[in-house]
Amino acid sequence: RQSLRTSVLEATHPGPGQGLLLALLMGDQSQLSYQTLDLVRRASLAHSLALSGLHLGFVISLGWAAAWTLGRLWPKIFLLFPRPMISVALGLPLVLAYLWLGQGRDSLLRAALMFFFWVVLLLSGRSKALLDGIFFALLIFLLWDPLAVFSLGWQLSMVAVTGILLLWSVVGTGFSHRRSISKKILFFLGSFLLLSLIANTALLPLIMHNFGQISPHLYLNVLWLPVLGFCVLPLGLMGMVLSLCPGAGALGDSTLYLAARILDILSHLLAWLNSQGWLEVIVTPRPGWLECLGYWLLLGALVYRVKCKGMKSVAVAALGGVMLLGPWLSANVPWPHNTFQVRVLDVGQGQAVCLQGPKGGRTLIDGGGSWNPDFDLGRFALSPALTYRSWPQVETVVLSHPDFDHLRGLFFILKHYDVERFVYNGQWPTGQDGRTLRQIIKDRDIQVQVVGAGDRLQLGSRLWMEVLHPSEHIEKKKDNDMSLVLRICHQGQGLALLPGDLEAEGIAALLETGKDLRSDLMVVPHHGSRGSLSPALYERVDPELAIVSSGFLNIFRFPHRQVQKSLEQAGVPVYCTSRSGEVLVKWDLDSMEIRSLQTRLMD
């Protein structure tokens, strides 16, 4: 296997084509760049890179093609054995070889199990009982590894295959029995699109739940899948075989090179589409598992209604509707509860705080960010937390100061969410981060507002966020000490104090103002660094609890022991996102008391 991998690397040039070819032939994605993977995901083609039933189906089709060729050369063979039997006999060795080549990955094993059970059903005269094959494979796989049910790959495979088998029987019947050549070609191309639509219809809630976004570009499957399945994959497999044959190495290299060049062309096509803005994704709400089950019950009721015409489907559909809409309405309808909540989100070594008022309006203060500009923390960590049973909408985005660990996570939010205004302290980020932020705000036509000490941002009726720092009169300090300090108040009573990354100088300037800092909750300045240690600040704020936003095992060792000890001596409980995950605090604004406190990992 290593020799075959080496032959692919030596026969092709480094680039997208080489990486895609290795991924398709061996499931090896080590040569794929993040940019290429992201393009494939945006184009709704990511499923084509995970070795699964799709690839095994193409390999099996080679066995069918071999059986068809054999029948043309020796027609009498069909009098001895039926074509499906010959196709299976020729395809089975190919399936086993591809299973070995793909290193026996779980997704391939699942598909191979389904194929083997279908072969058993075929030999027993029950070739139409495809669902039985799925359930047999499911049983064997769960007996072997019961925890596989929690694997996302396992869930995607089972839901997609089951959805295709059930829904194709409803919508795919009109695609069969086409006689003319033109109709056969249309059927061939249309079936790829229809299969993609059916699979994605079944997978929709699972994709939304796990990724919080969908790609609407399924039409690209009409070009991508036939080229991969009937051109690239056969060429790649043929090139590998030839590279092992004495005297045929040069021909094998040429074949592998051709396969990689085709993939290079497809990759350049995706890059061009993306440059034109035609590969945008749609950020969606993330449903819970109850809503997912309700959606699938509705789909099942639809299939049952069409095929069986029974009234039982109405009851099933009603149950599915309640399961689908109930949790959503509970989370989004503004019930008559006068509550306010602060969510200190788990964004690793950074900070992001989301405020939500009684009527559901949200304000996001900072968005975290990664050292690696290629890792979009806003997309992979912040957005999934914000869209759980919620629309991708934030009324106001606030940047406390331009450090990357507060800024970069906001790019995705500003680009893909409904945002009314962007608020900052007057210090615009420098370099590429600043250019990216400026371009996004220009493209989305977002209102920009500079605030400082004395300004007030309204959050709701008798609920506001006052800016305590920096004052325009103070001497310019380093970025951390120019952080916006925000105090959320209801009827003048402090609910939460958010001091950004203030350190010693900034804290001293804040204390000198003599302003009222008392608040129920304090987010500890600068992730709990030693430089932000200030017993005087803790005394002035007098919080009921403190929250530190820091990363697990971060290299700075935040929060510092001295900070934790000082807060504990002041009788203030300390919660760290590095240990607790997201921390959610709710207030009952009628009684002006903290109603609940929750710590949770991402849903």
SS3 246: coil
DSSP calls for 139-186: HHHHHH-GGGGG-HHHHHHHHHHHHHHHHHHHHSGGGS---SHHHHHH
Residues 503-525 have pLDDT tens digits of 999 999 999 999 999 999 999 99
Q: What is the 3-state secondary structure (H, E, C) of 477-544?
A: CCHHHHCCEEEEEECCEEEEEECCCCCHHHHHHHHHCCCCCCCCEEECHHHHCHHHCCHHHHHHHCCC
**What average pLDDT score do residues 260-278 get?**
95
Bridge-based pairing state of the strands 485-490 and 418-424: unpaired
Q: At residue 183, does pLDDT exceed 80? A: no
Q: Where residue 403 falls among pLDDT bands split at 50, 70, 90?
A: very high
478 exposure class (CB count in 10 Å sphere: 0-12, 13-18, 19+): exposed
Q: At residue 283, does pLDDT exceed 90? A: yes
Q: At residue 185, does pLDDT exceed 80? A: no
pLDDT confidence of residue 196: 84
Q: Where residue 347 falls among pLDDT bands split at 50, 70, 90?
A: very high
Q: At residue 176, does pLDDT exceed 60? A: no
**What average pLDDT score do residues 98-122 get?**
84
Q: At residue 603, does pLDDT exceed 60? A: no
Least confident range of 165-179, 427-441, 563-577: 165-179
pLDDT confidence of residue 111: 84
User: What is 339-600's CATH superfamily?
Assistant: Ribonuclease Z/Hydroxyacylglutathione hydrolase-like (3.60.15.10)
pLDDT confidence of residue 61: 86
Q: Where residue 188 falls among pLDDT bands split at 50, 70, 90?
A: low
Domain ranges of the chain: 2-283, 289-332, 339-600
pLDDT confidence of residue 171: 72
Q: Where residue 56 falls among pLDDT bands split at 50, 70, 90?
A: confident
Q: At residue 177, does pLDDT exceed 60? A: no
Q: Give the torsion sign (CA, 514, 520, 526, 528).
A: positive
The sheet with strand 339-344 has its strands ordered as 447-450, 418-424, 393-399, 362-365, 353-356, 339-344, 582-588, 593-600
**Cis peptide leading into residue 559 (ω within 30°):** yes
pLDDT confidence of residue 193: 79
pLDDT confidence of residue 182: 67
Most confident of 86-100, 236-250, 444-458: 444-458
d(CA 311, CA 543): 59
505 exposure class (CB count in 10 Å sphere: 0-12, 13-18, 19+): middle
First to last CA, the chain: 39
pLDDT confidence of residue 596: 67
- Residues comprising the chain, all counted: 603
Instruction: Using alpha carbons, list the distances in angstroms from residue 465 to 236, 355, 394, 461, 497.
Output: 61, 10, 16, 12, 10
Percent of the chain that is helix, strand, coil (3-state, to 5): 55, 15, 30
- Count of other CB atoms within 10 angstroms of residue 78: 14
pLDDT top residue among 343 and 124: 343
Residues 331-346 have pLDDT tens digits of 777 665 788 999 999 9
- Of residues 261, 264, 256, the one with CA closest to residue 237: 256
Least confident range of 21-35, 93-107, 529-543: 93-107
Q: At residue 132, does pLDDT exceed 80? A: no
d(CA 86, CA 13): 39
What are the contacts of 7-12 at 24+ separation with CB within 8 A? Answer: 7/239, 7/240, 7/243, 7/252, 7/253, 7/256, 8/236, 8/239, 8/240, 8/256, 10/253, 11/239, 11/243, 11/252, 11/253, 11/254, 11/256, 11/257, 11/260, 12/256, 12/257, 12/260
Most confident of 90-94, 474-478, 588-592: 90-94
pLDDT confidence of residue 374: 82
Q: Please report, rounded to a whole number, the percentage of residues in the chain having pLDDT higher than 70.
A: 93
Residues 482-504 have pLDDT tens digits of 999 999 999 989 999 999 999 99
Average pLDDT, the chain: 89
pLDDT confidence of residue 291: 96
Could you identify the residue written with the tokens 């039409």? Answer: 219
